[in-house]
Amino acid sequence: MSQSTVPDIDVFVRYLERTRWFGGKGRPFQIAAARRVGDVPGRAEGGPRVVIELVDVAYGDAEGGIETYQVPMALYPEPETRLDHAFIGYWEDPETGPVHAYDALHDREAMACWQRSFDQAAREPGGNLNDDSGLRFHRVSGYDLDLDTHSSLFSGEQSNSSVAYGEDALMKVFRKITPGINPDISVHEVLTRTGSEHVAALYGWLDWVDWGEQVQADAGDQPTGSGTTLQLAMLQQFLRTASDGWDLAIASVRNLFAEADLHAFEAGGDFAAESERLGVALRDVHEALAEHFPVEQLDPAAVAELAGGMHTRLDAALRIVPELAEHADRLRSAYDRLRDLGKLDVQQIHGDLHLGQTLRTSKGWKIVDFEGEPAKPLAERLRPDSRWRDIAGMIRSFDYVPHVVERQFAEDHPEGADQRAYRSEEWANRNRNHFLTAYAGGELTEEQQALLDAYIADKAVYETVYETRNRPTWVAIPLQAVARIGAA
């Protein structure tokens, strides 16, 4: 590891402020440090030097804290006007002369270096290409890369950046970096090696070992001991023709509203069969994860602690969303029924599941993005949890779909609001039931219902807080779910 060769690290302040993926917008911050972790191999003659910087952002507000962001850079001796939109900074290097730095994800010449490095890794013993700097490219066998394709950066990225290579491969570059194993990689690796049909196959990943202050015995030797692994990117199958699950569900409700006086099961865009298939797909994924990751059983004290956390979150939400007060007793009863179960099986799950984390292909449903909730610490995202957290997330997603379409229709068609509200609930109820029955293989047991009620209540309470803070006119959506849970 070396310190950044960027003379003025504040160039990163100006760049981070204009990116979509930087999570600190609106907060006062400064750059605490920038580390050059190494050069990406595979540089072509006449092409740019490609380096990876890890930038430590220190926040100056009451919350404080430090976050680390990955900024891969393409370095050119002359300006590249085609990359003006991705310009990071200019400086004079005492050894190489002028340096014009650009975000490498926007540059096809730079991104080809990653592609060539992953291809070379497949030819190395064990499928690993280890660079002297500590960068390590890993490959899963059985997948050949097309080196003649070029890269295309996805627009609209929120927390990470994704680049497609032609029509087969997709590389996700993790922007916010946390030391340790990223579950998006570890889960995809296991499910790929076991032949799961419900994920995009993992082709490889890139990580870097931070040896900290450990001293090398001799020049060129690797330090002894165990360094800290930071996972920087993953390469996987690109499902180019897949359709987003959320978009498909939205289209189903629009179709329903366009066909007046029809029930959800009568409409041409009925989604129930897809909900069933999705329930089966999630069950298969959960079973595969239970087979290849540890499964634990929480004892009564641990279950009580889990339920206690739900009570605590409700306490906090009541201070922000006073409308929750009339439902509080019944919500607490749902949490107490979870506590009274006395035991609970927990395992590796998705952790942030909703329709937007699913893709429908010609061969069936795929589940994507196993990172868990990005805002949570990595240790919490790696912690085993109940399958019913994933199920609750999907149930809440089915509930949101028709209400979103309702609001869109209301702008142009204010008449008929009561009828649309009835049909929205019918659509949501139909798809929730088909999904649940397919997942469980029949009616839920009393224990399963208690688990589902508690996790849905916890999720809906969180949603009331989120909507109150961000979209106050939407808070009725989770409040309706809260009322339904309490009544049940």
Asked if residue 157 has pLDDT above 70, the reply is no
Whole-number pLDDT of residue 216: 45
pLDDT averaged over every residue in the chain:
90
Please name the fold of domain 243-487: Aminoglycoside 3'-phosphotransferase; Chain: A, domain 2 (3.90.1200)
DSSP secondary structure letter of residue 326 = G
Band of residue 186 on the pLDDT scale cut at 50, 70, 90 = very high
Query: What does the alpha-carbon distance between residue 1 and residue 33 come to, in Å, rounded to a whole number?
Result: 13
Closest residue by Cα to residue 420 from 250, 246, 247, 254: 254
The per-residue pLDDT for range 254-296, each reduced to its tens digit, is 988 887 777 777 776 799 999 999 999 999 999 999 999 999 9
User: Angle at the Cα of 159 (from 157 to 162), degrees rounded to 5?
Assistant: 45
Whole-number pLDDT of residue 486: 61
Whole-number pLDDT of residue 4: 60
Q: How far is CA 60 from CA 19, 63, 64, 65, 443, in A?
A: 20, 8, 6, 8, 52
CA dihedral of residues 245, 246, 252, 258 (deg, nearest 10): -150
Whole-number pLDDT of residue 278: 98
Closest residue by Cα to residue 43 from 120, 109, 122, 128: 109
pTM, whole model, 2 decimals?
A: 0.88
Q: What is the residue extent of each domain of the chain? A: 2-103, 110-237, 243-487
Band of residue 373 on the pLDDT scale cut at 50, 70, 90 = confident
Alpha carbon of residue 311 to chain centroid: 26
Query: What does the alpha-carbon distance between residue 93 and residue 89 come to, in Å, rounded to a whole number?
Result: 12
Give percent helix, percent strand, percent coil of the chain, each to the nearest 5.
45, 25, 35
Which is higher by pLDDT, 12 or 416?
12
Amino acid at 402: P
Query: What does the alpha-carbon distance between residue 99 and residue 77 come to, in Å, rounded to a whole number?
Result: 5
Mean pLDDT, range 164-186, rounded to an integer: 93
The per-residue pLDDT for range 44-80, each reduced to its tens digit, is 888 999 999 999 999 999 989 999 999 999 999 999 9
Query: What does the alpha-carbon distance between residue 202 and residue 107 come to, in Å, rounded to a whole number?
Result: 24
Which helix or strand (DSSP H or E) is residue 290 part of?
helix 272-292
Asked if residue 13 has pLDDT above 90, the reply is yes
Band of residue 158 on the pLDDT scale cut at 50, 70, 90 = confident
Alpha carbon of residue 90 to chain centroid: 33
Asked if residue 187 has pLDDT above 80, the reply is yes
Whole-number pLDDT of residue 42: 86
Whole-number pLDDT of residue 218: 46
Which helix or strand (DSSP H or E) is residue 485 part of?
helix 476-487
Whole-number pLDDT of residue 3: 59
Mean pLDDT, range 14-32, rounded to an integer: 91
Mean pLDDT, range 113-123, rounded to an integer: 94
Q: Which of 112-126, 400-414, 431-445 has the lowest mean pLDDT?
A: 400-414
Mean pLDDT, range 366-370, rounded to an integer: 95
Whole-number pLDDT of residue 108: 95
Closest residue by Cα to residue 73 from 38, 121, 31, 29: 38
Phi, psi of 248 (to 5 degrees): -65, -40
The per-residue pLDDT for range 211-252, each reduced to its tens digit, is 775 544 444 455 455 678 999 999 999 998 899 999 999 999
The per-residue pLDDT for range 308-345, each reduced to its tens digit, is 999 999 999 999 999 999 999 999 999 999 999 999 99
The per-residue pLDDT for range 40-49, each reduced to its tens digit, is 998 888 899 9
296-298 and 358-361: which strand pairing? Answer: unpaired
Whole-number pLDDT of residue 142: 87
CA R_g for the chain: 25
